Amino acid sequence: MAIFGKLAYDSGVVLGDLLLFRFAIAAALLLVIARARGVLRGLPRRSVLAGLAMGGIGYATQSGLFFGALERMDASLLALILYVYPVLVMIGAIVLGRERASVRRIAALVIASVGTALVLGGAASGGLDPLGAAMGFGAAVAYTVYILAGDRIGVGMPPLALSALVCTGAAFTYSLASTRHGGPQLGFAAEGWLWLAAIAVVSTVAAILTFFAGLARVGPSAASILSTLEPVVTVVLAAAVVGESLGVVQAVGGAVVLSAVLVIQWPTRSRSLGPRIRKRRLGRPRIAPEQTADHVLP
């Protein structure tokens, strides 16, 4: 998604329009699929409002910060900064009393901190944009709050229904913002529509639905471990498509951050525990981050 975002910016798409059309297209498609599957029928009003609020406040904030940072810094570096969120989720879960601290989780926190320092230290030597980096970390924090909220709000709600409500809420927020600023600015190049459609269809709708399909087949632990490929793919594509490159120190730092995520999420040896119990022991929320995420990003 970060690569599509860069290409959209190059086509003249402005930040507000990118966010508006991303969520409007995704919401329309997800609502059609959710209605066809019948997952929206019978939802309590409170659950519907909570899902819309998750998108309109939490997800909209995270996406705004992510794409705002993308205007100011390389997609590869932003992907590495954003990926501290699994560790932040772990810290939040411990502070809120939902999980217990353990040697493995503390070790993962230390490893992630070292990796983040290397990423930022390596970038600083090449001219790090402080505001862009702050927005990237802000996106990670907003995503953490969003996930921890979803851990409670999403209980008993079909993931497809929650995803549709979240995207609808975010689309409503950016519709209001667009109206306040005079409506969409449609003067961008025609190819901009291609990148907007790619962000909405490939990086939002398809990402969510295929993640659900994979989750049902391999379970939450394997799905979480596989998701660590996300920033790696972003770095490779950024180098191939838009000519970005990471320094040696940044690359090492990114690898260290990814190793911290693996330390947190690698399955335990016990095979007798049910999926939900394993999920809680590994510090995973009931709704995995990728289930309503920008994937796949922010």
Mean pLDDT of 133-147: 90
pLDDT for position 201: 95
pLDDT for position 282: 42
pLDDT tens digit string along 184-212? 988 899 999 999 999 999 999 988 888 77
pLDDT tens digit string along 103-123? 877 887 788 778 777 776 665
pLDDT for position 228: 67
Question: Lowest-pLDDT range, 5-9, 44-48, 96-100?
Answer: 96-100
pLDDT tens digit string along 216-237? 676 655 565 666 677 777 877 8
Mean pLDDT of 87-91: 80
Q: In terms of pLDDT, which residue wins out, 229 or 159? A: 159
pLDDT for position 275: 47
Please identify which residue in the block is written with the tokens 């790090």: 128
Estimate to the nearest angstrom the gap between the alpha carbon of 94 and the chain centroid: 21
Average predicted confidence (pLDDT) for the chain = 80
Q: For residue 140, is pLDDT > 50?
A: yes
Model confidence, pTM = 0.76
Q: For residue 264, is pLDDT > 90?
A: no
Instruction: Spell out the long-range contacts of 263-267 with Cβ–Cβ below 8 A and sequence spacing 24 or more.
Output: 263/104, 263/107, 263/108, 263/111, 264/86, 264/87, 264/90, 264/104, 264/105, 264/108, 265/86, 265/221, 265/224, 265/225, 265/228, 266/221, 266/225, 267/221, 267/222, 267/225
Q: For residue 179, is pLDDT > 50?
A: yes
Tokens in use for 93?
């879960």
Residue 57: which pLDDT band, with cuts at 50, 70 and 90? very high
Q: For residue 42, is pLDDT > 50?
A: yes
Q: In terms of pLDDT, which residue wins out, 281 or 145? A: 145
Cβ atoms of 182 and 16 within 8 Å: the answer is no
Q: Which whole-number Å values give the CA distances from 40 to 35, 130, 187, 235, in the listed order?
A: 6, 43, 37, 37
pLDDT for position 297: 40
In this structure, what DSSP letter does residue 203 have? Answer: I
